[in-house]
Amino acid sequence: MSNNISSILQENRNFFPSKKFKKQANITEQIYQQMLLKAEKNNVGFWADLAKEKLTWAKDFTVDLDDSKAPFYRWFTDGKLNASYNCIDRHLTDKSDKLAIIFEHDDGKVDQYTYKELHDEVCRFANALTTQGIEKGDRVIIYMPMIPQAIFAMQACARVGAIHSVVFAGFSSASLRDRIESAGAKMIITTNVSIRGGKTILVKKSVDEALEGGGNSVCKVIVYARTDYKIAMQDKRDIYWHDVVAGMSNYHDAVMVESEHPLFLLYTSGSTGKPKGVQHSTGGYLLNAHLTNEWVFDLKDDDVFWCTADVGWITGHTYVVYGPLSMGATIVIFEGVPTYPSAGRFWEICQNHAVSVFYTAPTAIRALMKFGDNLPKQYDLSKLRLLGTVGEPINPEAWIWYYKVIGNESCPIVDTWWQTETGAVMIAPLPGITTMKPGSCTKPLPGIDAKIVDEKGNVLDNGEGGILVIEKPWPSMIRNVWGDEQRYIDAYFKQFANKYYVVGDSAHIDAEGNFWILGRIDDVLNVSGHRLGTMEIESALVSHQLVAEAAVVGKPHEIKGESVFAFVVLNIDIPSGEKREILMQDLKKHVAKEIGAIAKPDEIRIGINLPKTRSGKIMRRLLRTIAKGEEITTDTSTLEDESILKQLQKTPETF
């Protein structure tokens, strides 16, 4: 990548929060300026004071930041607290009867839980975990659909000091197996089935396949019966949720853990083979989760907050399970899909549950735009007061539609930039004060020291594109890659000799100080807001008996953001006609089986070889150009065989 990256997006429209919104906002201009000044003078003290103010500690900390082993930063190290206590117990004195969770089933049925009921459910399950031998520090895999029991399980793990690792229930058994083995999980919590879009998905079957052959660390599998669908249960290993909680007390004394005790592991795809186990702490993570809900989403006591993310992703952790609940907010969760039974489902949910703060992905917005302006207008969206986007940059056209049609030109839009490793939002508008620009995540939050640098680490002037980095540590940052300290250093700090946390995105800052994300600087794809490593998809393709080599790149996609475009080299002659089409479909199904449907290539092109340098490195930049159907204008002198490019550029019908 060159030091200068050009942005093809030119956006000069400005949008401002209304006087009404500004008047009631949690963060006013005066508060914002005070925070900026305090963070600039003493960044560590800024975070420490907020930690003392916003979180409930069983033991106060005296060490604000331990950076003696940087880049392994440790925050509030001698303090003790419990995340579940902070999310539930501390609200019981004044919010016991307040709704904590509104759950809408796929079929429209609704379940509700007050904070008292949430407390009871979590405590019963925490006691069940303890009875089943789960102790502080044990790893527990949670492989569940978007139902309240997934939240109960996460909170119960936190309550007993166990480290949970939620695996998106759409991942295949092979992907689940990788994560079980990496984490050394002692238990899996799952469901018999999940229900999405009227379809029954066999979730427990994937767990059984992942555990086939033994040789793993799992001792127990707890199964929540989502429906009465009958499944195979292995004697002594498997036990139903309703059986394990039977007779359990609705009180559990939360285990107070050190601030740096791992709260969870969340596996994210990396640019090399196996997924990375991102390790987050308890105190630091919880602080930024709480603050960003207060600052960015402006949460109030009477808000109904719906973040549409699955708990299998970091967004579901921070903006469903931990952040809003730490503030005592009411959240909505939904197990279905946005287009079932009609494309008005999201807007119907917003109407029926009086959603006031709505947070979703640009992918969903672009998909729902296709159904026109009139569909959302059939629903009463008047309770909405704040909209948010997450997962990828939102294109201006979608931003404007979201603002006008869904927000009725009265709701600020918080376009948030962050990632699994940052734990919480890092760059985003503060809705009561920030001038919004469609497509820009605007400015870093107070205390977040983001910069754009060139390949040598020199800070670039505004207007110049480069590598997005963060200079100063912040509380919710990744603590380690589980079981692989060197990978942690190599992936996030090595490039600039530990001076910066390297985000992996390219960006530029405009003349007004707004950040614009330009895309990834590595080979991680962003498909429908989900980060997928090319190496995992390539490995799945190569595991097919007819594939010798594979390379995967992203191709811009109107709805998904990026689609998966695969180039494969076969170990047989290239088939033609119907045989080629059958093979293409077989390869797509194979990837879906190995990794999950979300990783299935949208397009596959078969070649006689891949474009490689003389040293054997695949030149993915050339493959991206081919995938887009563009002319190759960059230097190809290092290629071993330039004729490969011409062959790959041909459409399937021409060879």
Over residues 282-301, mean pLDDT: 98
Residues 125-152: tens digit of each pLDDT = 999 999 999 999 999 999 999 999 999 9
- What torsion, rounded to 10 degrees, do the Cα atoms 475, 478, 480, 484 define? -170
Percent of the residues in the chain that have a pLDDT greater than 70, as a whole number: 93
Q: Which of 196-200, 320-324, 569-573 has the lowest mean pLDDT?
A: 569-573
Q: Strand runs (DSSP E) across 133-219, as ranges?
A: 139-143, 163-166, 187-191, 194-196, 199-201
Angle formed at CA 106 by CA 103 and CA 112, multiple of 5 degrees? 15
How much of the chain, in percent, has pLDDT values that exceed 90? 71
pTM: 0.84
Specify whether the CB–CB gap between 11 and 438 falls below 8 A: yes
Residue whose token pair is 């540590």? 473
Q: Give the pLDDT confidence of 518-542 residue by residue, as tens digits.
A: 777 765 677 777 656 576 688 788 7
Question: Which segment, 101-110, 273-282, 577-586, is predicted with the most confidence on average?
Answer: 101-110
Which pLDDT score, from 0 to 100, does residue 561 have?
A: 81
Of 504, 358, 336, the closest CA to residue 420 belongs to 504
Average pLDDT (268-289) is 85
pLDDT at position 615, please? 42
Residue 212 has pLDDT above 80, yes or no: yes
Concatenated DSSP letters of 491-508: HHTGGGTTSSEEEEEEEE
Angle between helices 29-41 and 43-54 (to 10 degrees): 120
Long-range contacts of 578-587 (CB under 8 A, 24+ apart): 580/606, 580/652, 583/546, 586/544, 587/541, 587/544, 587/547
Indicate the range of 432-446, 460-474, 618-632 predicted with least confidence. 618-632
Among 139-148, 544-553, 558-567, 646-655, the range scoring the smallest mean pLDDT is 646-655
Q: Which domains does the chain have, with CATH numbers?
A: 115-255 (3.40.50.980), 524-654 (3.30.300.30)
Contact 70, 498 (CB under 8 A): yes
pLDDT score of 2: 38
Look at residue 522 in the predicted model and tell me its pLDDT: 62
Q: If you search the block for the tokens 């309703």, which residue do you land on?
A: 242
**268 and 278 Cβ atoms separated by less than 8 Å:** yes
pLDDT of the residue at 8: 35
Residue 11 — very low, low, confident or very high, per pLDDT cuts 50/70/90? low
